[in-house]
């Protein structure tokens, strides 16, 4: 993981802005191929039920992306006292299940900024197509988290922020993260695990096939997935 004390990026130069605009214009038309997805989750104590649900349904991400070229996933999570970890990359659902099964939820504060910084570092080394973040709280300064979300937007990595619950501050923060990165934000109910399953599958389709593939999937799937496509920029 990147060091949480690392200084923030400098203001974007004109060349960086030009690069972003060029890259953003091609997102919906990128060729099929194996997508690369960071799957980040809050593993603090309140997330135990959702962690178990995500573990049991994560195979749907790989299944839905198979016809589009497949999917590589890196698991990132935080918990306890300043613990924030990233797994190896895997293209196998059983490997990801084993990685998630080895993690237990521990009480602690959110570390969303560290997750976003790590994702930026990873995509600078090798392109990442999307970041999924699943959580129910945001206990950090919104300005610093928003800065890192905008950085991911410049790098062409949309954040798909899925939040549980109805806390207004969390909803605002997740919505800002999605907006600044050209991603999408959606609420789900842990009592309806199919919602989370559909959302994770939809992002896997996007990571592997782009916006057009997501449009086709959301049209066919309906339900909660249609909330994502309406938020993504054309």
pLDDT, position 25: 42
Mean pLDDT of 180-209: 92
What is the rounded CA–CA span in Å between residue 28 and residue 210? 5
pLDDT in tens, 73-85: 999 999 999 999 9
CA dihedral over 108, 110, 116, 117, signed as positive or negative: negative
Predicted confidence at residue 36, as pLDDT, reads 96
- Looking up tokens 């038309």, which residue turns up? 29
What is each CA distance from 63 to 1, 44, 70, 144, 173, in whole angstroms? 28, 28, 8, 36, 31
The pLDDT value given to residue 14: 52
At 15, is the pLDDT very low, low, confident or very high (cuts 50, 70, 90)?
Answer: low
What is the C-alpha to C-alpha distance for residues 196 and 57, in angstroms, rounded to an integer? 8
Ramachandran angles phi, psi of 34, nearest 5°: -65, 120
Residue 165: the pLDDT is 86
Query: Is 51's pLDDT higher than 80?
Result: yes
What digits encode the pLDDT tens for the residues 53-73?
Answer: 999 999 989 998 988 889 999
What is the per-residue pLDDT for 204? 95
Domains of the chain with bracketed CATH? 41-229 (3.40.50.410)
Q: What gap in Å lies between CA 137 and CA 114, rounded to an integer?
A: 15
Q: State mean pLDDT over 37-42.
A: 97
pLDDT in tens, 169-179: 999 999 999 99
Angle at which helix 168-180 crosses helix 112-125, to 10 degrees, equals 10
Q: Which residues pair with 132 in a beta bridge?
A: 39, 160
Q: Let me know: does 224 contact 199? Beta carbons within 8 Å.
A: yes
How many whole angstroms separate alpha carbon 71 and alpha carbon 20? Answer: 24
């Amino acid at each position: 993981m990147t060091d949480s004390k690392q200084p923030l990026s400098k203001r974007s130069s004109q060349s960086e802005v030009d690069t972003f605009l060029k890259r953003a214009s091609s997102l919906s038309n990128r060729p099929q191929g194996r997508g690369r997805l960071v799957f980040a989750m809050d593993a603090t104590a309140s997330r135990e039920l959702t962690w178990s649900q995500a573990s049991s349904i994560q195979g749907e991400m790989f299944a839905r992306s198979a016809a589009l070229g497949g999917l590589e996933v890196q698991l990132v999570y935080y918990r306890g006292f300043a613990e924030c970890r990233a797994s190896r990359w895997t293209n196998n659902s059983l490997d990801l299940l084993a990685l998630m099964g080895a993690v237990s939820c521990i009480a602690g504060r959110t570390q969303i900024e560290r997750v976003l910084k790590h994702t930026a570092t990873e995509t600078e080394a090798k392109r990442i197509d999307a970041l999924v973040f699943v959580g129910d709280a945001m206990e950090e300064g919104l300005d610093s988290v928003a800065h890192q979300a905008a950085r991911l937007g410049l790098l062409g990595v949309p954040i798909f922020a899925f939040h549980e619950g109805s806390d207004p501050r969390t909803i605002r923060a997740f919505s800002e993260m999605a907006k600044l990165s050209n991603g999408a934000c959606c609420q789900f109910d842990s009592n309806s695990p199919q919602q989370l399953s559909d959302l994770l599958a939809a992002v896997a389709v996007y990571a592997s096939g782009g916006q057009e593939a997501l449009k086709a999937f959301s049209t066919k799937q309906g339900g909660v997935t249609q909330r994502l496509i309406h938020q993504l920029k054309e």
